[in-house]
C-alpha cells in the first residue's frame, strides 16, 4: 500500500513510518522541518529509539521510505493517510488542536484534486468527539467532498511506549490494536494494514477508539499515584513498600502490575497530558473525575520528596554538589517532556545547589530546557566523582550497578526509582528511597 504519515518526523510518526516501510509498504514521511527531513532521508532517526535507525536505514535503502515537506505530492499518491501530529496541553489542561487543524486542512486541500478513494486515519491522541466534530468537518469543508462517500475515516489510537516503540509497534500482542471506524469500508481498508500482525484487533466507533486511549492511560497513571501514596505511608510506618508490592501482586485480581512501582511519579508526552485532557473534557460536560484529579496532585508532590530527603543532610542545600543521574522521563528515550527531572532540577536550583547531571541520551534535549544553567557530565562516573549526594531520577539500567557509586565523593544516595538494592551497597553509604523505611 502507499501510505502518508503527517507528523512523520516525531516519535509516533517516524516509528509508524519506519515500521510500515519495514512491513513492505511505500511510505511518505511528511514533516515540516527541512533539517529533520534531510536527516531521515540520510537514514538518521530524529528521535532516539532502540532499532529505529536500523529499520529506517533498511527502508530507505530499499526505496520504501521518503521523507518530504511536500504534503500535496505525498497525499496525492497515498491510499491511507495517518495523522500523527502533536496534541500538546493548553494552560487549562485541554488539548491544543492547532496541529490537527493544519493537518486536516492540508488533507482537505489535497483531497479536492484526488480522484481515488482514500482513508484518513487519526493516530494522534484526541478527546472523544474530535474526529467527528473537528477533523471530518475541516476536511469536508476544504475538499468539498463527503466523508463515508468520497473518503473514509478511522481513529487508530497508538499504544506504543517510548523506549520500546519499534517492538511495540511491530509486535503489539500485549497492547492489541483498536480501529475506530466511520463505516465498514473505512475500517476494512485500515484492517488490511494490520491483518498479519499477531494481536487482537478491536473494531469500534470513532469515539470509542478515542475514549479507549484516554481510559487506558488514565487507568495506568492512577495506578502509579496509588502506589506512590501507599509507598509514602509505608515509609512513615517503617514498612518496605517493595515487599508490600510483591504481596499485592500475589493476588491474581491485582496481578503483576508493572505500574505499581513507587517512585517520583510519571512524566512523558502522554500520561500527564492525557489525564489533564480527560479531566478538562469531562468538566466541559459537567462530569468531575476526582480520582484523576488526585492522581495528578500526587504526581506533583512525588519528585519534591527527593528534595525533602536531601534536606535531612544539608541545611541548607545551597553550595552543595549534587549529582542528578538521569534526565529523560524514563529509560530508553531522549524525551524530556514532563520529565520528573524538571521539577527536581528546578527545586535544586531554587535551593542554589551545584548540579552535576548525566543522562546517556537526553543531554541535548535537556539543554533546550536548562541551557547551561547546570553542568552536564560526560559520564555517570564524572557526575558522581564531584558529588556529595546523588539523586537517581531515571531508571537507566546502568544506574542499578552498585559499583558505580564507589566513584562518589560523598555517601548519600537518594533513589527515586528504587533501582538499587541497599544490601549491595557498602555500609558506608546512606540510602534513602521512596517507600523505603525511614
Ligand atoms: P511529536 O511532537 O514528537 O511529533 C509530532 C510531529 O508532527 C512533529 O515532528 C511536528 O513537526 C510534526 N507536525 C506537526 N504538524 C505537522 C504538519 N502539518 N505536517 C507535517 N508535520 C507536522 O509528538 P509525538 O510524541 O509523536 O505524539 C504525536 C501524537 O501521538 C500525540 O497526539 C501524542 O499524544 C500521541 N501519542 C504519543 C505517544 C508517545 O509515546 N510519544 C504514544 C502514543 C500516542
Q: What is the reported pLDDT for 386?
A: 85
Q: Is the pLDDT of residue 288 over 90?
A: yes
**In terms of domains, do 192 and 251 share one?**
no
User: Would you say the CB of residue 186 lies under 6 angstroms from ligand 1?
Assistant: no
> Which residues are marked as active site?
270
User: Would you say the CB of residue 110 lies under 6 angstroms from ligand 1?
Assistant: no
Q: Is the pLDDT of residue 255 over 80?
A: no
Query: What's the whole-number mean pLDDT along residues 279-292?
Result: 98
- pLDDT-derived band at 326, boundaries 50, 70, 90: very high
- pLDDT-derived band at 271, boundaries 50, 70, 90: very high
For residue 94, the CA-to-ligand 1 centroid distance in Å is 16
For residue 378, the CA-to-ligand 1 centroid distance in Å is 30
Tell me the residue range of the domain where 107 lies: 2-204
**In terms of domains, do 154 and 226 share one?**
no
For residue 88, the CA-to-ligand 1 centroid distance in Å is 9
pLDDT in tens, 346-362: 999 999 999 999 999 99
Q: What is the reported pLDDT for 257?
A: 64
In contact, 118 and 106? CB cutoff 8 Å: no
**In terms of domains, do 236 and 320 share one?**
yes
User: Would you say the CB of residue 104 lies under 6 angstroms from ligand 1?
Assistant: no
**In terms of domains, do 237 and 367 share one?**
yes
CA distances from 50 to 15, 60, 140, 418 (A): 11, 17, 39, 24
**In terms of domains, do 184 and 235 share one?**
no
**In terms of domains, do 265 and 241 share one?**
yes
Q: Is the pLDDT of residue 273 over 90?
A: yes
**In terms of domains, do 243 and 169 share one?**
no
Q: What is the DSSP letter of 117?
A: -
- Pick from 204, 234, 255: which residue ends a domain? 204
DSSP strands (E only) in 159-309: 177-181, 201-204
pLDDT in tens, 9-39: 999 999 999 999 999 999 999 999 999 999 9
**In terms of domains, do 300 and 427 share one?**
yes
**In terms of domains, do 184 and 214 share one?**
no
202: helix, strand or coil: strand
Q: Which of 84, 156, 169, 266 to mutate to test the pocket of ligand 1 (most atoms within 8 A of CB)?
A: 84
Q: What is the DSSP letter of 151?
A: B
Which atom of ligand 1 sits closest to the CA of residue 99?
Answer: 15
What b/e sequence results for 154-175 when a residue is b if at least 16 CB atoms lie within 10 Å of its CB, and e otherwise? Answer: bbbbbbbbbbbbbbbbbebeeb
Query: What's the whole-number mean pLDDT along residues 186-207?
Result: 98
Q: How far apart are CA 1 and CA 13, in angstroms?
A: 17
For residue 99, the CA-to-ligand 1 centroid distance in Å is 9
Domain count, the chain: 2
- pLDDT-derived band at 256, boundaries 50, 70, 90: confident
pLDDT in tens, 79-132: 999 999 999 999 999 999 999 999 999 999 999 999 999 999 999 999 999 999
Q: What is the CATH number of the domain that holds 388?
A: 3.40.50.720
Q: Is the pLDDT of residue 258 over 80?
A: no
Q: How far apart are CA 106 and CA 100, in angstroms?
A: 10
DSSP element (H, E) containing 27: strand 26-30
- Pick from 169, 204, 239: which residue ends a domain? 204
- Pick from 185, 204, 223: which residue ends a domain? 204
Q: For a pLDDT cut of 70, what percent of the chain falls above it?
A: 100
Query: What's the whole-number mean pLDDT along residues 402-422?
Result: 95
**In terms of domains, do 191 and 214 share one?**
no
Q: Is the pLDDT of residue 42 over 80?
A: yes
**In terms of domains, do 200 and 211 share one?**
no
Q: How far apart are CA 293 and CA 283, in angstroms?
A: 11
**In terms of domains, do 7 and 126 share one?**
yes
Q: What is the reported pLDDT for 416?
A: 97
Amino acid at each position: 500500500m502507499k501510505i502518508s504519515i503527517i507528523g512523520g518526523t516525531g516519535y509516533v510518526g517516524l516509528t509508524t513510518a519506519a515500521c510500515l516501510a519495514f512491513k513492505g509498504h511505500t511510505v511518505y514521511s511528511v514533516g515540516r522541518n527541512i533539517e529533520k527531513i534531510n536527516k531521515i532521508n540520510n537514514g538518521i532517526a530524529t528521535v532516539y529509539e532502540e532499532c529505529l535507525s536500523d529499520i529506517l536505514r533498511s527502508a530507505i535503502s530499499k526505496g520504501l521510505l521518503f521523507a518530504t515537506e511536500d504534503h500535496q505530492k505525498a497525499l496525492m499518491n497515498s491510499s491511507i493517510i495517518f495523522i500523527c501530529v502533536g496534541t500538546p496541553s493548553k494552560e487549562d489542561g485541554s488539548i491544543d488542536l492547532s496541529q490537527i487543524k493544519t493537518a486536516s486542512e492540508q488533507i482537505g486541500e489535497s483531497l479536492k484534486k484526488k480522484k481515488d478513494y482514500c482513508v484518513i486515519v487519526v493516530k494522534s491522541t484526541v478527546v472523544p468527539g474530535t474526529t467527528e466534530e473537528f477533523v471530518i468537518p475541516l476536511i469536508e469543508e476544504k475538499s468539498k467532498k463527503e466523508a463515508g462517500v468520497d473518503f473514509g475515516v478511522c481513529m487508530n489510537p497508538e499504544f506504543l511506549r517510548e523506549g520500546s516503540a519499534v517492538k511495540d509497534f511491530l509486535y503489539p500482542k500485549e497492547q492489541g490494536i483498536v480501529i475506530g471506524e466511520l463505516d465498514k469500508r473505512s475500517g476494512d481498508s485500515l484492517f488490511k494494514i494490520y491483518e498479519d500482525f499477531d494481536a487482537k484487533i478491536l473494531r469500534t466507533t470513532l469515539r470509542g477508539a478515542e475514549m479507549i486511549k484516554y481510559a487506558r492511560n488514565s487507568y495506568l497513571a492512577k495506578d502509579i499515584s496509588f502506589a506512590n501514596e501507599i509507598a509514602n505511608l509505608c515509609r512513615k510506618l517503617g514498612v518496605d513498600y517493595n515487599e508490600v508490592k510483591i504481596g499485592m501482586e500475589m493476588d491474581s485480581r491485582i496481578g503483576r502490575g508493572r505500574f505499581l512501582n513507587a517512585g517520583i511519579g510519571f512524566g512523558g508526552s502522554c500520561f500527564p497530558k492525557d489525564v489533564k485532557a480527560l479531566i478538562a473534557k469531562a468538566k466541559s460536560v459537567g462530569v468531575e473525575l476526582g480520582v484523576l484529579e488526585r492522581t495528578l496532585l500526587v504526581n506533583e508532590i512525588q519528585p519534591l520528596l527527593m528534595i525533602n530527603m536531601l534536606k535531612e543532610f544539608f541545611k541548607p542545600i545551597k553550595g552543595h554538589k549534587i549529582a542528578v543521574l538521569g534526565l529523560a522521563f524514563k529509560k530508553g528515550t531522549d524525551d524530556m517532556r514532563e520529565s520528573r527531572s524538571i521539577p527536581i532540577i528546578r527545586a535544586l536550583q531554587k535551593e542554589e545547589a551545584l548540579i552535576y547531571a548525566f543522562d546517556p541520551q537526553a543531554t541535548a534535549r535537556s539543554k533546550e530546557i536548562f541551557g547551561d544553567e547546570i553542568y552536564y557530565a560526560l559520564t555517570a562516573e564524572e557526575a558522581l566523582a564531584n558529588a556529595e549526594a546523588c539523586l537517581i531520577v531515571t531508571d537507566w539500567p546502568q544506574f542499578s550497578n552498585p559499583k558505580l557509586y564507589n566513584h562518589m565523593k560523598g555517601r548519600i544516595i537518594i533513589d527515586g526509582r528504587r533501582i538499587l538494592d541497599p544490601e549491595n551497597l557498602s555500609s558506608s553509604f546512606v540510602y534513602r528511597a521512596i517507600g523505603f523505611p525511614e
